[in-house]
Structure 1
Amino acid sequence: MTEFKHLRDRLLTGHWFSQLPAALREELLAMAQLRRLEPGQRLFRRGDSPCGLYAVLDGAMRIGSVSESGKEALLVLVEPPHWFGEIALFDGQPRTHDAFADGQTTLLNLPQAPLLALLKRKPEHWRNFALLMSQKLRLTFIALEEISLLPAPQRLARRLLMIAEGYGGLAERRRVLQLAQEQLAMMLSVSRQTTNQILKELEAQGALRLNYGEIEILDPDLLRRAARGKS
């Protein structure tokens, strides 16, 4: 019972789950299964069959792809209490990307079959899951636009703000981001050296502080100015 309450409390810190009807939340938790992954363990690979919807409870998941040569393209680092895997829920097609655990990670899994059975019984709930996917689609369009139009310093500042706000899914903004510079560089498609240079400049301005494996936001207003391209 204590673990169940802990799980529910963690998920309720996220905007999507907290906005679901109470009865639907309970039905989802009743079918949920816990899954624990070791650092670097693969959850699924591109082309795998759908296995349901996931929420990150502890740790983080790297979503991206790995080339035959071993080079990784990191799209996003999914942290608590965010959900992922909804595309395959809708179309039933194979997974579009690879998912790896970034450190010790605990997931909540809503298996595909019982979740689809619930939605067949109560099709009015499809809209709730469509809202989850539409939020991801909106963020994808924003990221594509930024890659095309904005210089790297603005893109980096904007991405840090988005991560701090849980991509719009957290009730409160975080100040400390568990994010390595290399991971940030891969997400922005810029070099590790360029990322480090921009972060050092923001640190000198007092917008943030760099620590090992994490970035602490000291002045969100300064970071927002940098995101707008203003010094």
Structure 2
Amino acid sequence: MSDSAACLQRISSGRWFQSLPTELRDALGRSAQVRRLPAGQRLFARGDAPCGLYCVVEGRMRVGAVAASGKEALLALVEAPNWFGEISLFDGQPRTHDAFAEKPTTLLQVPMGALQSLLARHPEYWRDFALLMSHKLRMAFAMLEEQALLPAAPRLARRLLMLAGGYGAGDACQRSLQLPQEQLAAMLALSRQTTNHILKELEARGILRLSYGGIEILDYPGLCDAAQAGD
């Protein structure tokens, strides 16, 4: 089995990829290239030209924006089997954010030229890529609403649930999240102190167990209840 075929097999359980027509899955597989990034390496920067569609096979990508001052706005942590980079496929415009490897990361890349050629031959596949983008747009709207309307505690609980569910990319729920509190605070635009206080309260209730750089979900229904507290 080739390297790319092995990677495709590993991401085959992803909800979006699994839902594709067999012909489209095969076409993406034929065009896919394996990329391996060491921790901290940038894949692309805001303003870069479009370079195709990516899927995380192993590891994790950090997507956000870095100001001239060095302050970072963390938007998402992308793990397997999530795909990303589809916005530029639709509008042909430069990348909207920076993407860095959070840890040693293996990616599949389908280059822009291969995607454009495929879609020129099969315009019916545009809908499948639109569904990938619309799923993320729904999540973005939900997070904006939570940011505006919810107190910090239920907003944090909802983000943990979203991360545990892999942003809806698969059906499995991760009980153990490798997520430093500083990153969670950055994703929610909360202070480190506020984030720690909320997490400690959830730990005291037996919902979570905190460790260095990690959060373990002990009581999933309890975390769901905590996420609804602001409704």
Task: Pick the TM interval, shorter chain.
Answer: over 0.9
Quote the RMSD (CA, aligned, Å).
Answer: 1.1
Deviation at 1:4, TM superposition (A): 4.3
Deviation at 1:6, TM superposition (A): 3.1
Aligned partner of 2:111 in structure 1 is 111
Deviation at 1:77, TM superposition (A): 0.5
Gap regions ≥5 residues in structure 2 = none
Aligned partner of 1:133 in structure 2 is 133
SS at 2:11 equivalent: helix
Letter in 1 for 2:216: E
SS at 1:47 equivalent: coil
Deviation at 1:167, TM superposition (A): 1.5
Greater alpha carbon shift after TM alignment, 154-163 vs 7-16: 7-16
* Residue-by-residue CA offset, 1:14-49 (whole Å, 9 max, x unaligned): 100011111211110110011111111111111000
CA distance in 1, matches of 2:5, 2:123: 27
CA distance in 2, matches of 1:4, 1:39: 21
Deviating 4+ runs (over 6 angstroms): none
When residues 139 and 79 of structure 1 are mapped into structure 2, their CA distance, relative to the original with a 3 A threshold, is: same
**Structure 2-normalised TM-score?**
0.97
**Structure 1-normalised TM-score?**
0.97
Aligned partner of 2:203 in structure 1 is 203
* Residue-by-residue CA offset, 1:77-99 (whole Å, 9 max, x unaligned): 00111011000000000000011
Matching of residues 20-169 of structure 1 within 5 Å: 20-169=20-169
* Residue-by-residue CA offset, 1:50-79 (whole Å, 9 max, x unaligned): 000000111111101001011111000001
SS at 2:73 equivalent: strand
Identity, % of aligned positions: 62
Letter in 1 for 2:89: L
